[in-house]
Structure 1
Amino acid sequence: MLVSTTNPSSPSLAKLRQPIKQWFETELGQQLLATEQQLLDQVTPRLFGYHLLQISVLDLPDLTRGSPAGHRFMLAAEMDGELAPNTLVGDMESLPLANECIDAVVLHHALDFAQSPHDALREAIRVLRPGGRLIIIGFNPHSFWGLHRLWKRKSKQVPWVGHFMARRRMHDWLKLLEMKSERADSGFFRPPWHSSRWMDRMQFCERWGQRSHSLNGAFWMLTACKETGAAATVGQSWKRRFVFPLPVAQSSRVGRGGVADKAGTARIYPFPRLSSSGTPSKDR
């Protein structure tokens, strides 16, 4: 487990963490999650490289199980009980990682509940290496679920309190941040009903959505590639943060921005290494 020295929690996400977990444990939440996993299993095998960062509203170590990446780790918003292995505690809007040190990033409903979705997206792109892949999953406002949200929004209940950002809006954000969209998918075309009986009756919606390749499902999934490292790093204050060491598969990979020690670890430090007292050490 890795622990951040920065403010570890986003107030909005920390407040909603338990309700989000409880909702995804319902039958409807589990069905949605299973559909998302099916689409991820089709895409994640193409996420090559070594470091894969998963930022999700849930603790799901197997979400990116299809990726061949050697080092898959997750971001947690706060220290709350026992954390899963390979978990980094920190703020998604101020990641404690150096520029361009990650090969792939998966944002699983993270932007739906981020205090500032644009800042969270910018941070994810900042840490992504040129040529790296970004996968984003978000609730779709142009769906049965989006219509239901118009009715439930004032209730402040999960997931209807989420941002529900349009796929085209996200595409525009990615373009501004010099990301090239490669693929768009959508899934779960039934209304958000908790009745198993009615959900079974609405199975024809799934067949229609899959046959027509509709993008009006409950969620959308975008896959994008980072073209350059220019836009995401402009104006960033990451050099003032403590940056965590990341393990590497072999020493030949260290030349991409890290400094190798004898244990085969790439320690990526934008500023001189800090001692236990917080002052720069001289062994850089």
Structure 2
Amino acid sequence: MLARSGVQHALELGVAPPLLAHDSIRHRIGWAPQRDLAEHSSTLICRPEALPLADEALELVLVHHMLEIVPQPTHLLREAARVTSDSGRLILVGWHPLGIAGPARLKRCHERFYQRSHWLTPKRLRDWLGFVDFKIERIDYCGFVPFNNTPDWLLTEEWGRRYNLPLGRAWVISAKRQMCRMIPLKKRFDPAAVLGRHASALASVAHELPPDPPRDARQDMMPQPGCHDPDNHSGNRQRHRTASPGVMA
């Protein structure tokens, strides 16, 4: 996985033998808790949860069996995600508590290493990566040989890796940052860019002032309600005069 990654700037956090000893990676940065344990001049000597690096500065960050031994693994995971670029990759390697090494760990729980180490499941790592906006791309299991590396057990290792059975001693998680999808905005029509400044001004004025509706000649000839009509008033007087004799009789 590291050989075909094609990255140029990588960081490895771990106390196990280094895995970034590949010529394809030009700039490799290691980590050490003390100065006497530093192997190269580019080794970081600091706390693992406080890396002196800029945000999104590396294309590849490898956490090699560090989440089991640090007192605050969530802080280490957050710091490793912070220095990983948007197009970079975060690779985690840890012991699998539900694999074939689980019973052996219970037998050796009296040892100091097994007392201080906290083995994490891939399900819990998936939840933790979600909080730092990372998504798991793939999970690989390895270490299917329970005893010595005899030819019979090596066949078990081959079959276990081929079908990626969740029974290995360790898991390897490859995660990338979740990118938010952006909704493109449509550009508004600009009349000035097509018709020119004067034509666009006339078009805007014509659009703001709609034409007057046509009048109906018949509607103009009809009297409006509430208006005083002298002819109609005189006709009412004549009808009142003709009707007055009958009323008096």
TM range (shorter): 0.5 to 0.7
Aligned length: 180
1:116–1:81: structure 2 CA closer, same or farther, 3 Å change rule? closer
Structure-2 residue corresponding to 1:36? none
1:57 to 15, 23, 30: 15
CA distances 1:164-223 after superposition (whole Å, capped 9, x unpaired): 1101111121122111211110111122x4xx4x85553343243134321221100000
Q: 2:93 is matched by which residue type in structure 1?
A: I
Listed as ranges, the matches of 1:1-284 within 5 Å are 43-60=1-18, 63-66=19-22, 68-80=24-36, 83-156=39-112, 158=113, 161-191=116-146, 193=147, 196=148, 202-227=153-178
- Identity fraction in percent: 31
How far apart are the structure 2 equivalents of 1:123 and 1:82? Answer: 21
SS of alignment partner, residue 90 of structure 2: strand
Structure-1 residue corresponding to 2:211? none
1:96–1:214: structure 2 CA closer, same or farther, 3 Å change rule? same
Please list every run of 5 or more consecutive structure 2 residues that lacks an aligned counterpart in the other structure. Answer: 181-249
CA distances 1:94-115 after superposition (whole Å, capped 9, x unpaired): 1111211111100110112111
Structure 1 residue 58, shift from structure 2 partner: 2.6
1:204–1:47: structure 2 CA closer, same or farther, 3 Å change rule? closer
How far apart are the structure 2 equivalents of 1:67 and 1:177? Answer: 31
How far apart are the structure 2 equivalents of 1:178 and 1:67? Answer: 31
Q: Which has the larger radius of gyration?
A: 2
SS of alignment partner, residue 106 of structure 1: strand
SS of alignment partner, residue 40 of structure 2: coil
How far apart are the structure 2 equivalents of 1:153 and 1:168? Answer: 23
CA distances 1:5-44 after superposition (whole Å, capped 9, x unpaired): xxxxxxxxxxxxxxxxxxxxxxxxxxxxxxxxxxxxxx11
Structure 1 residue 49, shift from structure 2 partner: 3.9
How far apart are the structure 2 equivalents of 1:202 and 1:71? Answer: 37
Q: Which has the higher contact order (CA 8 A, sep 6+)?
A: 1
Structure-1 residue corresponding to 2:225? none
Please list every run of 5 or more consecutive structure 1 residues that lacks an aligned counterpart in the other structure. Answer: 1-42, 230-284
SS of alignment partner, residue 149 of structure 1: helix
How far apart are the structure 2 equivalents of 1:111 and 1:217? Answer: 18
